[in-house]
Amino acid sequence: MCGRYALYGPQSRLREAFLLESCPEYFARYNIAPQSRVLVIRHPPGAGRVGQLVRWGLIPSWAKDPGIGARLNNARGETVAVKPAFRGSFARHRCLIPASGFYEWQAVAAGGKVRKQPWYVRPADPDGFFAFAGLLAAWKAPDGETIVTTCIVTTAANALMAPIHERMPAILRPEQYEAWLDPANHDTGALETMIGPCGSEAMCVSPVSPAINRGDVEGPHCIETVAVRSSPFE
C-alpha cells in the first residue's frame, strides 16, 4: 500500500525529469495524505505531458456517493484490470504521480506490544523522483461540479521493501512513461506487464520519526533519519 508520500525540490527539475509542457505551481510537501490535492502527470490527446492538481482518493464516474473516494486511495495491480472501481480508469485514464519518496510502516515488537515504525523510501538518485503508476477518474457532483481524482497502483514488495511491508507502489521506469500515459493505448494486457516491483537498487530506505503518523506534521524534518533499536537490514 501507500498511505503517505512526499514531493519537494525545484519545479524546474520535475519539469525536466518528466518532459512537462506545463505544470501548476505547487509547494514542497513532506507528508502528503489521502484526500489531499496532489500533482499528477497526464498526456491529453493532441498535447504534450502536463501536470494537474487533483484529489487523492478515486471516485469512479458511476459512484452515487463521493465518500467512496476515502476508501480508494490505492488499487492493487493484480486486479486493477477487472475491479469495477478501477477497470475503466485503467483502460482509458492513466497518469503518473511524481514523488520524492514515500513512507511505509513496519510492525515492530517492543516491550510486549507491537508498534509501527515508519520508514522513508527515496530514489537512489538523491535528485531523482519516483513515478508511481496512477489512475484518474472524473465524477460529476449533483451541482454540476466535476471532481477529478486519482489513486496509486500498488504491487508486491521488492527484496528491499519486504522486511518492512508486503506491498509498495508500482514505480514505472522512464522508458515506460509514454506507453502508460498514451490515451490511445487500450492494451490492458501490455499495461499489466508494467505493474510490478521495481529493482531494489533504485531506492534507499531509512527510519524516520513516528511523528509522521500525524497528518498535521509537515516539513523537511519528516524525512530526517532517526535511530531505531533494531533494524531489519542489520
> Is 87 in a helix, a strand, or coil?
helix
Choose the catalytic residue: 2, 23, 151, 198.
2
23 is an active site residue: no
Query: What one-character-per-residue DSSP string does 90-139 give?
Result: HHH-EEEEEESEEEEEEEEEETTEEEEEEEEEEESSTT--EEEEEEEEEE
Choose the catalytic residue: 104, 151, 198, 222.
104
- Torsion angle of alpha carbons 176, 161, 6, 227, nearest 10°? -150
Q: Tell me 199's DSSP state.
A: P
| 7, containing H or E segment | strand 5-7
Cell numbers standing for residue 193:
506487464
104 is an active site residue: yes
| 52, containing H or E segment | strand 49-56
Cell numbers standing for residue 223:
524525512
Residues annotated as part of the active site: 2, 104
